[in-house]
Amino acid sequence: MKFAKQFIVEPDTKVKLADLDSEQTLGYKNDAKTQAKLDKSIQRLDALQYLLFAESKRALLVILQAMDAGGKDGTIRHVMSGVNPQGCKVTSFKEPSAKELAHDFLWRSHLATPEKGMIGIFNRSHYEDVLVVRVHKLVPKQIWKERYAQINAFERLLADNNTKILKFYLHISKKEQKRRFDERVDDPTKNWKLSAADFAERQFWSEYMEAYEDVFSRCTTAHAPWFIIPSDHKWFRNLAVSSIIVETLESMDMQFPRPAIGPLKRDSSS
C-alpha cells in the first residue's frame, strides 16, 4: 500500500494544504520506466474490474475533487483508459438543477452510486455542498455545518452496504493553476475549457483551501478515506491515483464465483 500510505489523510489530523508539496513525485521521474509502471497499473485495473464484476458482491466509488484545472478530467481519461466501459460509470456534478434542489443535497449523489460489480466515478460530488456552497454562502452556516456529519453518515451507509469509497483531492498550487489557465488561453484546442467563472473562482483560492482543509479533517474515515495527491505533475498524479485504486482492489481479496452448474465438463457431443 505504498502510495495509499503516503497520501492518505488519517482520521483526526489537521491538514494545512500550503504545507503539502504539490510537486512531490516520491523520487519518480517522468521517464519510460515510470510510464511502464503506469501502463502496468492501468492493465491491472482492467483485470481487477473484471473480477469485481464477476464477483458482483461489492462496488467501488471513486470521488474526485480539485480546484479548476486541477485535472479531474485528465485523471479519469488516463486512469480509466484500460477499463471495460461497461464496468465503469462516470457522473459529473454541476450546479444542481431545480429538481435536485427540491431534494436533500445527498439525493443526487445517492442516485448515482455504483451498483455491485461496478466502479462509479464522481467528477465533483456531494462535497461541493460544503465547498462552493460554503465559499459563496449559498446556504446559511447552520445548514452547511451539519453536512459534514450527514456526509459521514451517508458514506457509512454505502460502506456498510459493500461500497468501497476512495476520495481523491488533486492538489495543485495556485501558480500551477495560473500556468494551466494561460495554456488554455494560448492553445486554440484548449480555449473551450476556460470560462469566466474559472477566473472568478481563483479570487477565492484561500477560502477554498480553508473549506477543503475542514473537509479533510472532518470527513476522512477508515471506510472512506481522503487522499491528497500532489498533482502539479500530471504523470505523477495518474500514477498515484491508479496505484491507490489498484492497491485497494488488490486488498479486497475478491474471488471468482464458483460455477453455478458445476462440476463443468467439456461437451463431448459433436
Q: Which x/- pattern over 207-246 shows residues binding ligand ATP (rule: CB under 6 A)?
A: ----------------------------------------
Does the footprint of ligand ATP cover residue 112 (CB under 6 A)? no
Among 20, 51, 132, 209, binds ligand ATP (CB under 6 A): 132
Does the footprint of ligand ATP cover residue 128 (CB under 6 A)? yes
**What is the rounded CA–CA span in Å between residue 234 and residue 70?**
9
Q: 3-state class of 169 per DSSP?
A: strand
Contact 66, 127 (CB under 8 A): no
Q: Pick between residue 37 and residue 234 the one whose CB is nearest to ligand ATP.
A: 234
Residues 173-212 touching ligand ATP, rule: CB under 6 A, are 195
Contact 239, 28 (CB under 8 A): yes
Q: What angle do CA 73, 226, 208 make, to 5 degrees?
A: 70
**What is the rounded CA–CA span in Å between residue 64 and residue 71?**
9
Residues 52-81 touching ligand ATP, rule: CB under 6 A, are 68, 73
Does the footprint of ligand ATP cover residue 46 (CB under 6 A)? no
Q: 3-state class of 70 per DSSP?
A: coil
- Please, what is the minimum distance in Å from the beta carbon of residue 246 to ligand ATP? 25
Does the footprint of ligand ATP cover residue 96 (CB under 6 A)? yes
Q: How many residues does the chain have?
A: 270
The CA-atom distances, in angstroms, between 105 and each of 98, 133, 210 are: 12, 11, 21
The residues of the shown chain that bind ligand ATP, judged by CB under 6 A, are 68, 73, 92-96, 124, 128-129, 132-133, 195
